[in-house]
Amino acid sequence: MAASSSSPPPTSGSRLGRVRFQDLAPYDGGATAAYGRAVHALSASLTRHGAALLVDLPAAHAAILRCALHSARAFFHHQPQSQPLFLYRAGRTSDDGGDLSSPACMDDAFRCLGEAARAALSAIARHLRLRTNVFDHLLDDTPLPFNEVSSSELLVAYSNQQHLHSGHVPTSAPQVDRGFLMLVASDHPGIEVCDPNGQWYLADGLSGPGDLLLLTGRALSHVTAGLRQTSRYRITNESRGSLTFRLMPRANAILDCSPISAAGHCVPQMYQSISASQFMDDLCAEEHAISNHSEAPSGSQGSFVSEPSLRSVLSDPLSGAFLEDAMVLLCGHSFGGLMLKKVIEMARCTICNGEVDPATLFPNLALRAVATVVKMEDDRRLFHNAALRKRRKEVTERNDVLKSTGGSRGNGELLLDTENSPSPRGVQYPFVVGERVLIMGNRRTPDKFIGKEAVITSQCLNGWYLVKAVDSGESIRLQYRSLKKVSELQPQSEMRRLQPLTFLHNKYPSGS
């Protein structure tokens, strides 16, 4: 029943970092040495292996998870459904004493797994030199307000030989999580994870019933500007019971990299601010494209699935930047960016632990060339998607205006003059480099820049500009909507300059 792989997967005990939950749990007071070691072990395991294990859960938590797994087994044993899956969200659905048609202990299991996920997220933030609660504003309020449902979710699954023989096919395609973190508790091993080198290994081979497998998702990779890469996994054994908790952002949250930038990290241009709902919609469209592509012949499918692994090889795991400065060690491993600096400082390879002599490094020209090409293609795709979203938005707004002004036929069809109406534009660049503008600003613009004259210094993607204030010399990146040409303001300023002269002329006529 296990999915085939190119080589036998090694056991997880020799690879994954095993972090004690009691050392990782946040608390008031000074940080202890055990907490520092736990934070480092968790982050090192995620960087090197794409996953980590939370072990030694509190006795009460471990007992709740065991009860939840037993209740899932009993629940699905009496359910004739062919898909033994149940999705649980805390909140409004459980206000009246719980849902009788769901497995027992789901409320308690949801709380235990949510506590562990938030503790791990705080540890990741600490390792990136951020405040431990820097991502709390992106999550649900705890406890949930009345009559609200959590954005995070708990997926309960249980399969046995009877379910598998009834037509339920084990999942073997690589998957990624959309949210921040994913925690998995199961009664049998069956999850393989892909490390940064593209090698698959059994991640939960030595995990116990009270241990949690920790994986990172796409939303966390976005808000950390690629410093924390997304875990890729596949399920090779579905003849087991499992609880999968997904820590998700609120739908109205804004995913941006401002904390990462404030901490001094490099933020690539591709990580733009985006709402969580739009981010999830884009991921759904991407997953739909992947599922459609998987129906193609096996030759094209294999090349498509390997693309995320290629990106992981071509990216620096610390900064997320493409390896345009890749260097090769004597051991054969290549590094670039911040990871290369770290390897030189440690004088050891982080993959094979071999000694490193800086004098023996030499450029990896082939890897640099491939990274440059992929980076150019990635920038082109992002630019095209941003222009397409803006074009759709402009068309929608124009249709709304036509509806409000009565520009529709009796059957509701819009009257669009396709010949005379201006074609929807994509990204706008109304200014040129060197032009003087006035900073109008928006809600996120610092007050010290609003109303100041500035000079356009460079043009960025998606209608953004880098401007420098004339009086202070400080630079800030703003979109064209937040800027206005100085020439357009000249008539108003001229009127203000002539107002005192008009007043004097009226008070003291030339004949007096």
- In sequence order, the 6+-apart residues with CB closer than 8 A to the CB of 7 are 199
DSSP states along 281-301: HHHHHHHHHHHHHTTS-HHHH
**Where does the pLDDT of residue 464 fall: very low under 50, low under 70, confident under 90, or very high at 90 and above?**
confident
* The two structure tokens encoding residue 136: 């709390």
∠ CA 115-15-328, nearest 5°, is 120
Mean pLDDT value across residues 116-144: 92
Whether 74 has a pLDDT exceeding 80, the answer reads yes
Would you tell me the crossing angle of helices 59-77 and 106-127 to the nearest 10 degrees? 130
Residue 421, pLDDT score: 43
Query: Nearest to residue 55, comparing CAs of 1, 12, 3, 18?
Result: 18
Whether 102 has a pLDDT exceeding 80, the answer reads no
Provide, rounded to the nearest whole percent, the portion of the chain with pLDDT above 90. 20
pTM for the structure as a whole: 0.57
Phi and psi at residue 222, in whole multiples of 5°?
-75, -50
pLDDT in tens, 215-230: 999 999 999 988 898 9
* The two structure tokens encoding residue 422: 């201006």
pLDDT in tens, 499-510: 444 444 444 554
Phi and psi at residue 249, in whole multiples of 5°?
-75, 160
Query: Nearest to residue 114, comparing CAs of 162, 165, 183, 64?
Result: 183
Q: Which residue has the higher pLDDT, 381 or 356?
A: 356
**Buried (b) or exposed (e) across 168-207, using 16+ Cβ within 10 A?**
bebebebbbbbbbbbbbbbbebbbbbbbbeebbbbbbbbb
**Buried (b) or exposed (e) across 357-391, using 16+ Cβ within 10 A?**
eeeebeebeebbebbeebbeebeeebbeebbeebe
pLDDT in tens, 14-69: 578 889 988 988 888 888 999 999 999 999 999 888 998 888 888 899 899 999 88
pLDDT in tens, 239-292: 788 899 999 999 888 999 889 888 887 787 778 888 888 888 878 766 665 555
Among all chains, which residue has been given the structure tokens 């950390």? 224
Point out the least confidently predicted range of 113-117, 233-237, 315-319: 315-319
Residue 319, pLDDT score: 66
Is residue 48 within 8 A of residue 351, CB to CB? The reply is yes
For each of the domains in the chain, give its residue range(s) and CATH number, in order of start. Answer: 12-250 (2.60.120.330), 327-404 (3.30.40), 436-491 (2.30.30.140)
